[in-house]
A and B are shown apart, each in its own frame.
Chain A
Amino acid sequence: MNVAHHEEPNYMGVFWWLLVLTIAEIALIYAPMAKMVIVLLLIGTALTKATLVALFYMHLKFEKRTLGLIALVPLLLCVFLVFALTPDLGAVVHQSPKAAAPAEGTHGEH
């Protein structure tokens, strides 16, 4: 029931993983790869680090399922929020100076 009742996680092992992943992130931004690939790798690395902190330092791995569900809800809502914003993004990009410039040959108004 209590975190003391399960075997203590390898906290230093998690720390070294977090450190290595942080160094990998910094190295990634200088890597000679396509921007989209770098962005996807950075997001993947960040989510891995966040998951490590939640599972081992916040002991989510050893808690009851209820707490996992409580932690999962905001994550799902944030993903939903991103999808909900997508139609607006298309409209704004369409009106942005960068998008308008090739068609009109002039700078658009903000």
Chain B
Amino acid sequence: MSQAAVLEHPLGVEPAESPLTPESWGKLGMWVFLAGDAMSFGALLAGYGALRYSSGDWPSPSTVLGIQLTAFMTFLLICSSVTMVKGLAAIQHGDQAALRRFLGLTILGGVLFLSMQAYEWTHLIERGMSISGNPFGASLFSTTFFCLTGFHGCHVFGGVVYLSCILIQAMRGRYSATNYNSVEIVALYWHFVDLVWILVFTFVYLV
């Protein structure tokens, strides 16, 4: 793709060449990355299901882990998805101040989620849970719990860092109604993190 074509594109990004692909390679790249990441989470969840099904003394997650806090964490991530999508809608209408405000709220949601997860982990570790065992039943119960929620937590942390970088750029006035491709790409990542938590919450805490 020539430099001229990049400059001519309304979003200021290199456009995809095929009519089947989205308007930017960055967006297509993020989707391919998310597909790979979904396989990672899918493999972890399938492994979790297999280990749980084959275990004779798997404890009831909802009684051991408690779901009030994690239900609120789920609510928090859903809210942060709304603020993210509102931020994207704002910049599509050229409202930079609203973009900055909604990005800040999304980051706040992520930080609160991580803080609550740290509190939950501390509480569970104090009750004797570790990655190698627990007093409630099958040792793999805690192993899979820490692996799955930890892997997701790393994604939330990555998302908070990624969003912070975008916020810094937004504060420098980089985005506008005709240049918001980076905001759209970070939004995809953040919604994916929310989507995965919906599944983790159901399979690890409720089922």
**Interface positions of A (Cβ within 8 A of B):** 1-4, 8, 11-12, 15, 18-19, 22, 25-26, 28-29, 39, 42-43, 45-46, 49-50, 53-54, 57-58, 63-67, 70-71, 73-75, 77-78, 81-82, 85, 88-89, 92-93, 96-99
Contact = CB atoms under 8 A, between A and B. Distances in A.
A42 B207 contact: yes
Interface of B: 11, 19-23, 28, 31-32, 34-36, 38-39, 42-43, 45-47, 49-50, 53-57, 62, 67, 71, 74-75, 78-79, 81-82, 84-86, 88-89, 92, 177, 184, 187-188, 191-192, 194-195, 198-199, 201-203, 206-207
Nearest to B184: A3
B75 A22 contact: yes
A105 to B, nearest CB: 15
B75 A53 contact: no
A22 B78 contact: yes
A39 B192 CA distance: 23
Nearest to A45: B202
B202 A43 contact: yes
B74 to A, nearest CB: 6
Given A15-B78, A46-B202, A96 B21 contact: no
A4 B22 CA distance: 13
B157 to A, nearest CB: 20
Contact of B54 (A2, A64, A81, A96): A96
Contact of B198 (A11, A50, A70, A75): A50
A19 B56 contact: no
Nearest to B70: A26
- Per CB-CB distance, the 5 closest pairs between chain A and chain B, nearest first, are A98-B56, A78-B42, A92-B54, A46-B202, A74-B38
Nearest to B91: A4
Nearest to A74: B38
Given A1-B22, A67-B28, 16 more contacts: A3-B184, A4-B177, A25-B202, A50-B195, A58-B192, A58-B195, A64-B22, A67-B22, A74-B38, A75-B38, A78-B42, A78-B43, A81-B43, A82-B46, A96-B54, A98-B57
Contacts of B38: 71, 74-75, 78
A26 B72 CA distance: 11
A1 B207 contact: no
